[in-house]
Structure 1
């Protein structure tokens, strides 16, 4: 019996190691290519290690496009959108799970059904509304329409339902209103769920392409995904420059993931225990 378990453990470990290698291969290739010379990029057979690590590719990125402006726009918009979305989702999830009011189930059904509507269907009406409101080429126009909270609200609702109602009842007996219950009871006990929802929200907003492309005409208002598209047009054959830009583009994502990694892992562990 132990021998079978040992063989199964070895087989699982080998499968996970091979899967991890396949997933890490594009990232490792991108990292090494960012420091290669054009000769190394087009060499055959392909060279893994650059003949000399150079930073000229990173300098070329800043020369060809206003990379810092695109970078700053993306960071500002993604951070603000994530904060607003999680704030709205947390308050909505608290109301839908812990409060009783008429139409609560219908509101939840309507919110859930909105997730099945393709984004392309609402893109033109949303742009017409934003244009009528004068939000074209503004940070408000970039941020507000992107606050789609259905997914993160449902994600937080699934966690808020596990918080005992006895805690809320005890807080009410001590004189706490709904706002203090939300701030003092719900949020402190939901750090793992909020961290996970924040991670998903930030990744969604950071890589958003279609809406920023439609709502902006001024180059100074463009975000990083659109800026990378400009770079592709400018350096169609300079793959080492594209890899350098891509490497810099994923740095905020890695930072956010490292900050939220503990909460993300804990949320998966708690989900496994609950099921």
Structure 2
């Protein structure tokens, strides 16, 4: 029995190791490829150790495409979007979790139903609306349409239901206003779910491709994912070392954000599963 248990555990660990290698290898090759010249990238057998071409690839990429402008556009759009989404989803989730008002359940069901609508069905009316506002090639055309999304409202509502109502009532008895309670009690208490939602929202907007591709047609206003896709467009010479170098640049902000907020992420994700 002990021998069988040992073999089972060993097989399980071996399987997990193989899956981990298969998952990590594409990212490792991306980093390695960004340091290679194009001829080295297609060498057989492939090189598995970094070389010294990274800064040359970055220089070539900067000369052929406005990579830093696109990076700044993505950072601006994703940061403003994340902050605004957190605030709006938090205040809406708080209202659904702790307030009683007529039509509350119906409104919440409507919010949940919107999660089932494919994003593609809204593209045409949204495009006509943005053009009517004169917002084409402007950051707000990407930021505003997805604010206070249904998932964020639902996620914050589930987490805020675990906040003791007695704490809110005590603040009201002490004379605190509703907005003061929200800013000084609810938001500080909800830091883990806010951090988790912040990471998810930032990643969602950072990797957003279809809508910016449609509405940001000026190359100077475009975002990083759209610009990188244009580097491998049909009919043009593709410098894969430059493309990989640009891809490495594109994942650095996401890695930094996750490393800064990782201690809140797991507790925030699972916080809504327990109600107090």
Q: What does residue 256 of structure 1 align with? A: 257
Whether 1:64 and 2:64 are equivalent positions in the alignment is: yes
Distance in 1 between residues matched to 2:221 and 2:117, nearest whole Å: 28
Q: Which moved more, 1:67-76 or 1:229-238?
A: 229-238
Q: Residues 66 and 208 of structure 1: is their aligned pair in 2 closer, same or farther, counting only changes over 3 Å? A: same
Distance in 2 between residues matched to 1:58 and 1:201, nearest whole Å: 28
Q: What does residue 242 of structure 1 align with? A: 243
Matches within 5 A, 1:1-275: 10-50=10-50, 52=52, 54-233=54-233, 236-268=237-269, 270=271
CA contact (8 A) 1:70 1:224 kept: yes
Deviation at 1:209, TM superposition (A): 1.1
Unpaired segments ≥5 residues, structure 1: none
Distance in 2 between residues matched to 1:147 and 1:271, nearest whole Å: 21
Deviation at 1:142, TM superposition (A): 2.3
Task: Tell me the alpha carbon deviations over residues 47-94 of structure 1, each in whole angstroms, 9 at most, x when there is no partner.
Answer: 212455552111111011011111100000000011111110000000
Deviation at 1:10, TM superposition (A): 4.5
CA contact (8 A) 1:58 1:245 kept: yes
Q: Which moved more, 1:51-60 or 1:173-182?
A: 51-60
Task: Tell me the alpha carbon deviations over residues 112-157 of structure 1, each in whole angstroms, 9 at most, x when there is no partner.
Answer: 0001111110000011111111111222222211325111111111
Deviation at 1:228, TM superposition (A): 0.5
CA contact (8 A) 2:199 2:258 kept: yes
Distance in 2 between residues matched to 1:270 and 1:63, nearest whole Å: 47
Distance in 2 between residues matched to 1:87 and 1:235, nearest whole Å: 44
Q: Residues 53 and 116 of structure 1: is their aligned pair in 2 closer, same or farther, counting only changes over 3 Å? A: same
Q: Residues 247 and 105 of structure 1: is their aligned pair in 2 closer, same or farther, counting only changes over 3 Å? A: same
Deviation at 1:224, TM superposition (A): 0.7
CA contact (8 A) 1:74 1:223 kept: yes
CA contact (8 A) 1:212 1:222 kept: yes
Distance in 1 between residues matched to 2:211 and 2:270, nearest whole Å: 35
Aligned length: 275
Q: Which moved more, 1:206-215 or 1:188-197?
A: 206-215
Q: TM-score, normalised by structure 2?
A: 0.91
Q: Residues 3 and 265 of structure 1: is their aligned pair in 2 closer, same or farther, counting only changes over 3 Å? A: farther
Q: TM-score, normalised by structure 1?
A: 0.92
Q: Residues 7 and 158 of structure 1: is their aligned pair in 2 closer, same or farther, counting only changes over 3 Å? A: farther
CA contact (8 A) 2:212 2:222 kept: yes
Distance in 1 between residues matched to 2:5 and 2:182, nearest whole Å: 47
Q: Residues 38 and 139 of structure 1: is their aligned pair in 2 closer, same or farther, counting only changes over 3 Å? A: closer
In structure 1, the residue corresponding to 2:48 is in which secondary structure? Answer: coil
CA contact (8 A) 1:235 1:242 kept: no
Distance in 2 between residues matched to 1:12 and 1:186, nearest whole Å: 43
Deviation at 1:14, TM superposition (A): 3.4
